[in-house]
Amino acid sequence: MTAIEAAIPELKALPLFKDYSSEQMLRITQGGSIQFSNHRDLLFSQGNPADYFGIVISGAYKLSKISPIGEDVIVHFSTPGDVLAAFIMAMPNPRFPISAKAMGPSRFLKIPKTTYIEAWLKHPELIFKIQNLLSTRMNLLQDQKALTKAPLSAKVALLLVKLIEKQPEDSANIVPIPLTRKEIAESLGASVESVIRIMSEWSKSGLVSTNDQQIQVLRADKLVELFCPIE
């Protein structure tokens, strides 16, 4: 409990919890706990029973699914403020449809399903905000689907642009999570080598720059052109 109380100021900084008093926050997070994860720690695993949902507080988690071939496909990158497992609430015996793994040190606020039913449903704004988050995620999935026939470079460009869009204006277009080429590939259903070939092209021509898994987009406009028709 103390851990949550300590985190409340940080939580109130998230758009989701903006405008809530500390007492309200306590009601909303009733029975919850804070999960600390190290790099590559598993937060939850596809197929396991799901009796909690929650919010990413810091760091990042990748959500992945096992493909028929047996390799992991990354479905989404979740950054602070993202709601995970939001859909389990409505189901009687929910299981996680995907796995969540930490990318670097991260923290996650676990909230029991019962708290959602008791506290969250009474706040229409909370429902709206969750729906907005889900809507964003669904739109991203749909946008990516619309690019299936487009060349791989378009897909990489979309991914990077969407990631920097979340950031505040003044962040110098730095991708907010430490992304390896392998993770980009797994997220796009491509091979590492292809992603590397595309991105080193971009590095040479000064569109992006990378050091130590920090990707910085220098010419966002050029990237946008790649997945957005010009004529």
Partner DNA sequence: CGCTCGGTTGATGCACATCAAAGGCTGTGG
Partner DNA sequence: CCACAGCCTTTGATGTGCATCAACCGAGCG
Residue numbers of the site for DNA (CB under 7 A)?
149, 151-153, 180-182, 189-194, 196-197, 199-200, 203, 210, 213
Residue 178 burial by CB count (10 A; 0-12/13-18/19+): exposed, middle or buried?
middle
- Per-residue tokens: 91: 């189901």
Residue 68, interface with a copy of itself (CB under 8 A)? yes
Residues 105-117 as b or e (16 or more Cβ within 10 Å = b): ebbbbbbbbebbe
Contacts of 172 (CB under 8 A, 6+ apart): 216
Spatial distance between the Cα atoms of 96 and 64, rounded to a whole number of angstroms = 11
Q: Between 26 and 152, whose beta carbon lies closer to DNA?
A: 152
Q: Tell me the closest approach of the beta carbon of residue 89 to a copy of itself, in angstroms.
A: 7
Residue 146, interface with a copy of itself (CB under 8 A)? yes
1 binds, among a copy of itself, DNA, none (CB under 5 to 8 A by kind): none
Residue 121, interface with a copy of itself (CB under 8 A)? yes
Spatial distance between the Cα atoms of 98 and 133, rounded to a whole number of angstroms = 17
Residue 137, interface with a copy of itself (CB under 8 A)? yes
Residue 38, interface with a copy of itself (CB under 8 A)? no
Spatial distance between the Cα atoms of 113 and 93, rounded to a whole number of angstroms = 11
Binds a copy of itself (CB under 8 A): choice among 81, 97, 112, 178: 97
Residue 91, interface with a copy of itself (CB under 8 A)? yes
Angle of CA points 159, 161, 164, to nearest 5°: 110
Q: Between 109 and 188, whose beta carbon lies closer to DNA?
A: 188
Residues that bind a copy of itself (CB under 8 A): 65-71, 73, 75, 86-87, 89-91, 97-98, 117, 121, 124, 127-129, 131-132, 134-135, 137-139, 141-150, 154, 188-190, 227-229
